[in-house]
Amino acid sequence: MNRSAREVAVPLEIEVVEMEQGIVSDLMTLTKARLSLLVIVTTFVGFCAASGPEIDWVRLFHAVLGTTLAACAAAVLNQVIESKVDRLMERTRHRPLPAGRMKHGVALALGVALGVAGVSWLWFTTNPQSAWLAAATILIYIAFYTPLKRRTSFCTIVGAVSGAIPPVIGWMAVRPSLDLGAWVLFGILFTWQMPHFLAIAWMYRDEYAQAGFVMLRRDDVSGCATAMQSLLYTVALVAITVVPFAAGANNGVYLALALLLDAVMLYCATQFLFHRTRLTARRLFFASIFFLPLLLGLMIFTKA
């Protein structure tokens, strides 16, 4: 290849690589890769918690994959519905759809395909109960949580229900029945999400309001009700984290370390109540991020 040909080829290769990287980045944004990682972790924990000494790793793979596909479907379809509104917020206006880097038809087809694939995968590789729960997750997120965001702050509770189902899917993939362990996992994820979401909603309350999202009570200008809600749900979270020990599912090491994590969450939630600032909300948000994986890890490694 002569010099002039190489000079033309190199920029073209760089352009192709950048285009591929852009597509991958857009797909990760569209499927909310970080939330999908949370789904993977919680489904994994639910499966392991329901398993005995021997874990069926193949079945675990199928459970995690199917649940993750369903969660990605919900994320994509949510962004299809909210693409116009996403243009109004700084934190979302650079997403593929509002930025015009992807067509709505393509995203819609992708979301539907992921949903069908996820539910079908669970149906044929695990059991129908897991598949029905995955379908319910998508339905709650799209048909209820998404439209409610523009009508009432109750949407956060509905969204938390949807987000608390993945570990139950993992549990049901092993034991197709709603035992106490399944309800404990659901309760932990549900109550954990509330202070986590409310802290985010308080930090970005101006952007949400500008976009027409009602993530907080309209009359809660001071944030007192929001902070009180965060504290009450944190107290409920603390109570639920004790249940695995009380039920004999986890040992004393779990209880001691879980109470330590609970104390950090309670401290941050209390500080948010007394000082309703972006800083205290941010501390509660980050505390919740560290809390969940540590607690779930404890549940797995300290099984009685």
For the CA atoms of the chain, what is the radius of gyration? Answer: 21
Rounded mean pLDDT of 252-272? 96
Q: Residues 157, 227: contact at Cβ < 8 Å?
A: no
Mean pLDDT (the chain) is: 89
pLDDT digit string, tens, across residues 148-188: 988 898 899 999 999 999 999 999 999 988 899 999 999 99
What pLDDT does residue 3 have? 54
Which has the minimum average pLDDT: 12-16, 172-176, 289-293? 12-16
Tokens of residue 153, six digits: 């702050």
59, burial (CB in 10 Å: exposed 0-12, middle 13-18, buried 19+): middle
pLDDT digit string, tens, across residues 17-59: 344 456 788 888 888 888 888 999 999 999 999 998 889 999 9
Give 200's pLDDT tier (boundaries 50, 70, 90): very high
Q: What are phi and psi of 135, to 5 degrees?
A: -65, -40
CB atoms within 10 A of CB 283: 19
Which has the minimum average pLDDT: 4-8, 131-135, 195-199? 4-8
Evaluated on CA atoms 188, 190, 191, 196, the torsion sign reads positive
CB atoms within 10 A of CB 150: 14
pLDDT digit string, tens, across residues 80-126: 998 888 787 777 788 888 888 888 899 899 999 999 999 999 999 99
Fold adopted by 17-151+166-176: Tetracycline Repressor; domain 2 (1.10.357)
**Exposure class string for 231-269: b at 16+ Cβ within 10 A, else e:** bebbebbbebbebbbeeebbeeebbebbeebbeebbebb
C-alpha distances (whole Å) from 68 to each of 77, 97, 166 are: 14, 21, 9
